[in-house]
A and B are shown apart, each in its own frame.
Chain A
């Protein structure tokens, strides 16, 4: 029943403190009275007896304090008193408070802001029904004797087969990204479109906010209905509440609106979309013939049945795939792979985000060890004050509590400022974040992020505050017991402080090296010569509705080029499927070469681009040999192609490639097309990537329903856009023109991702160097002020100012030397992590490491020179007088 008595005591403890103190006072008074009368009874004189009783009892105040502490949770009043004391003492040293609060606030702000991105992208569940059950499905080709290759895609026709066979999957659906021209009334739009099978949206577990889902496949043939996004509903339909059932022309064919998706709905696998914009239009694959269902261009999404483990679903799908392989030559060597959808969508951004998060956490460690050092110095500087407080009866635990409360107040204030900074920084991050960062929901400072910030603050307050507080209280305690033992604790603490400084310098060097590697990589990328013109070239894109015949399409391309070329200020223009740099899109297919044996297990691919005469000249690209397309390369002439050097190097390494014939899958694959030119390789898939083997086809001999026109101008390229719109609108108003942008801007956009992470790393590194400098400066000046009298003595017995300067500087040099060495080791250890980034970085070699070490040593030298100089100017007399 001990707990019952304990509980009673605790309940009794809820009485006001004064009352309990009065009781305790009475108890002690009684004790003293009884002791006194006991002594008197033994023959002592009354006054002497009381004195002896008091002496035997010990320090009454101390007893009362310790008893009060033993009551556990010390009273509210005492806490308020401690709080007031803490605030007052912080206010009394505004310099320390400001520096510590700003350092912590910056670190907490940076960490919180980056965590808000990590939380939105990596941690928060995908915004679909029971997202843990969602899987990504992909086909894997495994030719005998070759490494398996995950296509990351599936064929929609396979999805239907798997659906019929699987028992472990509740449902499975597929979709593909494209872009289709639509007409609403007399307005033309070109929304990014998802082609889906009817099971796709139910698999995600998302239903339209208005209207209904697509009808199941078996009940309809081709389904001519569409579901639109909330955004398109507002933009194209003026948020018409009666939109369901309205007629819309999609790709030249009549459709009706079936539903409107909820606001904020996003497609999965935005990371794999070719398009910068979100999906605005959802079209059933059954009604759209322009996108073959039996090619590996579809994303498969499946939902596990409740309670079924992923492994058994994977096992079942492999069995199904091998079953199909025995009956159908097409499925030979193919198998199926399942993975949690959230893993797949975050695969590309996870490494970079984790690296940036690690960087901010390192920054936080630097900041809190900095504050810890400041608190050590502060404790040492206040040891006299604390000793007096202890001598007056303040218990050690109370003193520790007060000192910790001080750092809690400090951290709380920095936490509030830090979260404010994080709110600003988060807004900036949203604006700067690369388009394809899969921000499944908007980045925001929600409850989770605030809880994270709170956790960071608590840990920081405890880590940075606890040890210095205990140390300060202990030191002052020993001062009370044995005055004059000033130096003992200080020597040890000097060592701790110097080690913390070394740690800070090491982490600073490591951070700076990593940031330097990123910056070097970005610099090298942005100074790479793309191999084509960019400043004076404007591009725009379009898609031709499917109701236009091939002749109408070619006629449009021809007259569009003619019209654009005659606009004043335009030097030349050319047609190309995708304007460079195009980091995502491409038509990657197999092909044949005349005279080369066809190996069925070969997965040789080339990018197929449709082009026109004049494109090569407009982009300023160079022909290595042969000729450009001519206006005469039309449907009546011999079929021709141009290839690039990468193609030649890989597939035609021997002999003259000119005159060899290739076949493309579009036109049956027979090798009938003569190579008439070889283009020099350019960075057309982004500055970081080398050329992919590419086949260029003249647009009059083969064309697709979409493309771009590149326009080289002698005036500001942006200024010709309105005239292009006017002239091409007159040719065919049903063809929407989109993405008017300079090639320069496309290049800049292609570097968004490395730039984003480089900036984050750079900002953190600059802050780290700042903190390290402040920290070192603080420690060295604190040491100087503590050793002033020592320096006085040294100078009095003959040391020169220069000797003192060297003495102090040596300490700074020693710390930055050790710190730099450790930092270089840390940086090298992080090199493997850097290689996981999806863009190239400078290797952590001489220049990067040397630069980081040099910079840190420079600033640490300045930080210790200033106080060292002050030390060397100490007047011996003044210093000695201070003793």
Chain B
């Protein structure tokens, strides 16, 4: 994945209200855009993380049993 791909993705998150963005001054005194998770973004992240854990947990169990059998 190339780095540029993050910008369309961020724009999509903005459109869904999962993140917000403001222009602020960065450490090196330049105008930069800062992205922050919103409350619903946080909730969504929790949900996605939980489902990711479930999925990987499932795969993990499968792997473990098959390894044992092998």
Decide yes or no whether A487 CB sits under 8 A from chain B.
Answer: no
Q: Complex formed: what's the CA distance from A57 to B1 in Å?
A: 9
Q: With A26-B31, A70-B11 given, is the CB distance from A60 to B4 under 8 Å?
A: yes
* Closest chain B residue, CB of each to CB of A53: B3
Decide yes or no whether A631 CB sits under 8 A from chain B.
Answer: no
Closest chain-A Cβ to B37's Cβ sits at a distance in Å of: 10
User: Is the Cβ of B14 less than 8 Å from the Cβ of A63?
Assistant: no
User: Is the Cβ of A67 less than 8 Å from the Cβ of B11?
Assistant: yes
User: Is the Cβ of B2 less than 8 Å from the Cβ of A9?
Assistant: no
Q: Complex formed: what's the CA distance from A630 to B50 in Å?
A: 107
Closest chain-B Cβ to A52's Cβ sits at a distance in Å of: 11
User: Is the Cβ of A62 less than 8 Å from the Cβ of B4?
Assistant: yes
Within 8 A of B (CB), among A29-88: 30-31, 33, 35, 56-60, 62-63, 66-67, 69-72
| Cross-chain contact of A70 among B3, B12, B19, B32 (Cβ < 8 A) | B12
User: Is the Cβ of A4 less than 8 Å from the Cβ of B31?
Assistant: no
| Cross-chain contact of A58 among B5, B40, B44 (Cβ < 8 A) | B5
Which residues of B have CB within 8 Å of A31? 3
Which residues of B have CB within 8 Å of A27? 7, 32-33
| Cross-chain contact of B17 among A5, A35, A67 (Cβ < 8 A) | A5
Q: Complex formed: what's the CA distance from A201 to B28 in Å?
A: 89
Interface contacts (Cβ under 8 Å), in number, total 82
* Closest chain A residue, CB of each to CB of B44: A2
Decide yes or no whether B38 CB sits under 8 A from chain A.
Answer: yes
Q: With A1-B38, A27-B33, A30-B30 given, is the CB distance from A59 to B4 under 8 Å?
A: yes
Among A4, A6, A57, A59, chain B packs the most CB atoms within 10 A around the CB of A6
User: Is the Cβ of B3 less than 8 Å from the Cβ of A57?
Assistant: yes
| Cross-chain contact of B4 among A4, A8, A9, A57 (Cβ < 8 A) | A57
Decide yes or no whether A28 CB sits under 8 A from chain B.
Answer: yes
User: Is the Cβ of B38 less than 8 Å from the Cβ of A35?
Assistant: no
User: Is the Cβ of A63 less than 8 Å from the Cβ of B4?
Assistant: yes
User: Is the Cβ of B3 less than 8 Å from the Cβ of A8?
Assistant: no
User: Is the Cβ of B7 less than 8 Å from the Cβ of A24?
Assistant: yes
Among B3, B16, B31, B32, chain A packs the most CB atoms within 10 A around the CB of B3
User: Is the Cβ of B17 less than 8 Å from the Cβ of A28?
Assistant: no
Closest chain-B Cβ to A318's Cβ sits at a distance in Å of: 63
Decide yes or no whether B55 CB sits under 8 A from chain A.
Answer: no
Within 8 A of B (CB), among A583-613: none
Which residues of A have CB within 8 Å of B18? 2, 5
Q: Mark A278-291, 1 if CB is under 8 A from B, else 0.
A: 00000000000000
Which residues of A have CB within 8 Å of B19? 5
Decide yes or no whether A347 CB sits under 8 A from chain B.
Answer: no
| Cross-chain contact of B15 among A1, A28, A35, A70 (Cβ < 8 A) | A70
Decide yes or no whether A548 CB sits under 8 A from chain B.
Answer: no
| Cross-chain contact of A2 among B7, B33, B39 (Cβ < 8 A) | B39
Q: With A5-B38, A30-B32, A72-B15 given, is the CB distance from A56 to B8 under 8 Å?
A: no
Decide yes or no whether A796 CB sits under 8 A from chain B.
Answer: no
Which residues of B have CB within 8 Å of A35? 3
User: Is the Cβ of A70 less than 8 Å from the Cβ of B38?
Assistant: no
Which residues of B have CB within 8 Å of A8? 17, 20
Among B9, B11, B40, chain A packs the most CB atoms within 10 A around the CB of B11
Which residues of A have CB within 8 Å of B7? 24, 27-28, 63, 66-67
Decide yes or no whether A10 CB sits under 8 A from chain B.
Answer: yes
| Cross-chain contact of B8 among A6, A9, A33, A67 (Cβ < 8 A) | A67
* Closest chain B residue, CB of each to CB of A56: B3
Q: Complex formed: what's the CA distance from A23 to B14 in Å?
A: 15
User: Is the Cβ of B8 less than 8 Å from the Cβ of A58?
Assistant: no
Closest chain-A Cβ to B26's Cβ sits at a distance in Å of: 8
**Mind listing 11 A-B residue pairs with CB under 8 Å?**
A2-B16, A2-B38, A2-B39, A2-B40, A10-B15, A30-B26, A30-B32, A30-B33, A62-B4, A66-B7, A67-B11
**What is A's interface to B at a CB cutoff of 8 Å?**
1-10, 23-24, 26-28, 30-31, 33, 35, 56-60, 62-63, 66-67, 69-72
Of all A-B residue pairs in the complex, the 10 with the closest CB atoms, nearest first, are: A2-B40, A6-B17, A58-B2, A2-B17, A5-B17, A63-B4, A70-B11, A66-B8, A58-B4, A57-B4
**What is B's interface to A at a CB cutoff of 8 Å?**
2-5, 7-9, 11-12, 14-20, 23, 26, 30-33, 38-41, 44
Supplied contacts A63-B8, A69-B8, 12 more A-B pairs, CB within 8 Å: A1-B38, A2-B44, A5-B18, A5-B20, A6-B15, A9-B14, A9-B20, A28-B4, A58-B2, A58-B4, A67-B7, A70-B15
